[in-house]
Amino acid sequence: MAKDDAGAPTKVWEALPPELERKEVTDLRTSGAQISVRRPGVPEVRITLDRSEFVIGRQPTEVDLVLDDEWVSRRHARLWLDEKGYFRLEDLGSQNGIDFAGRPVRRLNLVDGDVFGIGRTEFTFHADMSRRGAPPASIPPPRAPSQVAEPPEPDSALIRAIEGEEESED
């Protein structure tokens, strides 16, 4: 695989499905998406993402969710719904990034149930990920167990020929 081709496989649609062409699909306010927020020593809360984009950070006048944490930048990350219907989380140039699956990331497409961290806060993303008009994913039937073939019986004439060669080498 060429270096430029590296990354997760993504299907490219020849044309967007009609439900993704509508303007209201690209607005978090109509998506019903939520995040669960867990901070040390604070009860967990669930927040509905009710803005066209949702910014997380430390500066109260510039963000939608304030995290009082020295590991969090003033404007740390933003979450939005892109024009193709993908929920996106993007680091806004913070020093500490976003933690996902134990590693730092700068951007990510979110799916229902994804867990990510910003500073000392852990988030779980919740959203209805169904796409109207898309065919349901089919699961292929399980494969039959492989049959292990028994090795063939050795050719006795070949064995005698090899043994004869070994004896004649002496």
Q: What is the mean pLDDT of the chain?
A: 75
Q: How confident is the model at residue 40 (pLDDT cuts 50, 70, 90)?
A: confident
Task: Say what the pLDDT of residue 163 is.
Answer: 66
Percent of residues, the chain, with pLDDT higher than 90: 43
pLDDT for 1 beyond 80: no
Q: What is the pLDDT of residue 23?
A: 47
Amino acid in position 154: P
- For the segment 149-165, the average pLDDT, to the nearest whole number, is 64
Question: Per-residue pLDDT for 149 more than 80?
Answer: no
pLDDT per residue over 62-106, tens digit each?
999 999 999 999 999 999 888 777 889 999 999 999 999 999 999
pLDDT tens-digit map of 51-61 = 778 999 999 99
Interatomic CA distance for residues 120 and 68, integer angstroms = 10
Q: Beginning with the edge strand found earlier in the chain, give each strand of the sheet holding 65-66 in spatial order.
A: 65-66, 53-57, 77-81, 87-91, 107-110
Residue 63's closest CA among 71, 54, 51?
A: 54
- pLDDT score at 105: 93
Average pLDDT over residues 31-44: 89
**pLDDT tens digits, 115-124:** 999 999 999 9
Q: Long-range contacts made by residues 6-9, C-beta under 8 angstroms, separation at least 24?
A: none
pTM of this structure: 0.60
- Residue 8 amino acid letter: A
- List of residues 6+ apart from 43 with CB closer than 8 A: none
Q: Is 90 exceeded by the pLDDT of residue 27?
A: no
Q: CA-based angle 26:94:34, to the nearest 5?
A: 35
Q: Given this model, what pLDDT does residue 138 score? A: 47
